[in-house]
Amino acid sequence: MLLKEIFEWTKSIIFALIVVFIFNIFFGITTVYNTSMIPTLVEKNMLFISKIAKIENGDIVTFETEIKLTKMDIQTLSPIKRLFVSEDTNKNLIKRVIGIPGDKVEIADGEVFVNDVKLNESYINTVTMGDIYIEEIPMDEYFMMGDNRAVSLDSRSNIVGLVAKEKIIGEAVIRFWPIFDFEIF
């Protein structure tokens, strides 16, 4: 009897591990830790991300940077996440895709143009600072900006610059926390 119970528990645990493994191949979960995507995303929003989605203009994505986490960054993390990071860990950012490979991107006088068409950016409520001109985004690179342009560290900065395709972790597909802000992107 005991052996049968142990066998059943083992099967259940193995099945659960397989489900989690498969989920992590195609999907992930991330938390918003800063204000660079206000008003679309705010601190402590939790998102499901798709690791297999085709990245297109307007998508919200998370990506790895060369920027290292600071002590202050680490203090904002949950106690469990703190166990897995250090000051040598690269920081992940969440931004909106403005330009994809082959696109021409221009920012002039606070206006954003992609392929000579002015973007209608109803999702921003701050001025877009900085003049940028990129004749053509190279293959496998992307131009990203936060929705809160006044404080966003993004592709306008030399610190971030264009984001390589292999650095993109995934596209935000669902905001599931807080529950009352549930949204499918």
> 10 Å Cβ neighbour count for 149?
21
**Nearest-angstrom CA–CA distance, 137 and 31:** 29
**Nearest-angstrom CA–CA distance, 61 and 70:** 22
**Nearest-angstrom CA–CA distance, 68 and 65:** 8
Q: Which of 101, 185, 107 is nearest to 149 (CA)?
A: 107
Percentage of residues in the chain having pLDDT higher than 90: 65
Confidence of residue 42 (pLDDT cuts 50, 70, 90): very high
Beta strands (DSSP E) in 32-129 are 46-50, 60-68, 90-99, 105-108, 111-114, 117-118
Domain boundaries, the chain: 29-178
Better pLDDT: 30 or 87: 30
pLDDT tens for 67-115 read 888 888 888 887 888 888 888 888 899 999 999 999 999 999 999 999 9
* CATH number of this structure's domain 29-178: 2.10.109.10
Contact 77, 85 (CB under 8 A): yes
* pLDDT at residue number 172: 96
Identify the helix (H) or strand (E) that includes residue 136: none
The amino acid sitting at 177 is W
pLDDT tens for 170-180 read 999 999 999 99
**Nearest-angstrom CA–CA distance, 138 and 164:** 9
Identify the helix (H) or strand (E) that includes residue 126: none
Catalytic center residues: 36, 95
pLDDT tens for 148-159 read 999 999 999 999
What would the two tokens of residue 185 be? 């992107």
> 10 Å Cβ neighbour count for 8?
10
**Nearest-angstrom CA–CA distance, 73 and 33:** 8
Residue 83, classed as helix, strand or coil, is coil
